[in-house]
């Protein structure tokens, strides 16, 4: 509970800072506005969920494109020439890091001649938890070889059988916090 409260407090603090740092445009003529309007910040993300976080955090100030198509696998994805051009033209490139895009990201960034100052690996902002497949099955030792034959696996009785309730809310809060922090620290560069 205390961890969730700290996370919520951190998110609110970052969002407050972003709102406070948003400049208020002075009254000006239409020609002044046309000269000073550069359009939304162009953000390219490596995955759809990072793109969603960037859209939520950036709102109308960002235009976000995800390199990975819906349903795509980041381990087997192969970027094309359009992806290289998008990364080259982006104001900010958001990656997951932590080895998720390791098979293709470095080549993509090299081919796009991407400026390192506009690349943010969100995984660099977290302390990853070590995880092994053994960890997943530790709780089954107490069951022995129980194949759950006496357990009725009729999950339809639970109602919302398409919903995965494994921490979605906490992941969204953490994701938004990471993206907000990345956007805040890179807005001055853009």
pLDDT tens column, 139-169 = 555 545 555 555 455 444 444 445 444 445 5
pLDDT tens column, 86-121 = 999 999 999 988 888 888 889 999 989 988 889 898
pLDDT tens column, 12-53 = 444 444 444 445 444 444 544 444 457 999 999 999 989 998
Q: Which CATH class is domain 38-138+171-190?
A: alpha beta
Mean pLDDT of 60-80: 91
**pLDDT for residue 66 is more than 80:** yes
pTM: 0.55
66 CB burial (10 A radius; 0-12, 13-18, 19+):
buried
- The secondary structure of the chain as a DSSP string is -HHHHHHHHHHHHHHHHHHHHSPPPPP--HHHHHHH---SEEEEESSHHHHHHHHHHHGGGEEEEESSPTT--TTT----HHHHHHHHH-SEEEE--TTTTTTTHHHHHHHTT--GGGEEEGGGGS-PPP--HHHHHGGGGGGTT---TTS---GGGGS-TT---SSHHHHHHHHHHHHHHHHHHHHTT-
pLDDT at 131: 65
Strands in 92-95's sheet, in edge-to-edge order, are 62-66, 41-45, 92-95, 119-121
Cα–Cα dist 47/77, whole Å: 10
- Whose tokens are 């969920």? That residue is 49
φ, ψ at 74 (rounded to 5°):
-65, -15
Cα–Cα dist 180/57, whole Å: 6
pLDDT at 43: 95
pLDDT at 83: 94
The more confidently predicted of residues 134 and 29 is 134
Contact 120, 94 (CB under 8 A): yes
- Sign (positive or negative) of CA dihedral 53, 126, 93, 67: negative
The more confidently predicted of residues 189 and 171 is 171
Confidence of residue 123 (pLDDT cuts 50, 70, 90): confident
Any idea where the domains of the chain sit in the sequence?
38-138+171-190
Contact 69, 27 (CB under 8 A): no
């Amino acid at each position: 509970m205390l961890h969730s409260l700290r996370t919520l407090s951190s998110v609110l603090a970052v969002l407050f800072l972003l709102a406070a740092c948003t400049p208020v445009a002075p009254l000006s003529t239409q020609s002044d506005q046309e000269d000073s309007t550069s359009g939304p910040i162009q953000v390219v993300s490596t995955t759809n969920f990072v793109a969603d976080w960037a859209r939520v955090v950036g709102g109308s100030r960002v235009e976000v494109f995800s390199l990975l198509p819906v349903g795509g696998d980041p381990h087997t994805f192969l970027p094309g020439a359009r992806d290289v051009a998008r990364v080259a033209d982006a104001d900010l490139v958001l990656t997951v890091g932590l080895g998720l895009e390791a098979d293709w990201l470095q080549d993509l960034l090299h081919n796009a001649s991407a400026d390192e100052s506009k690349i943010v690996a969100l995984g660099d902002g977290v302390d990853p938890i070590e995880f092994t497949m053994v960890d997943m099955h530790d709780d089954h030792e107490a069951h022995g070889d129980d194949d759950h034959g006496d357990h009725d696996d009729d999950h339809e009785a639970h109602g919302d059988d398409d919903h995965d309730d494994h921490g979605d809310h906490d992941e969204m809060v953490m994701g938004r916090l990471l993206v907000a922090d990345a956007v805040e620290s890179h807005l001055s560069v853009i």
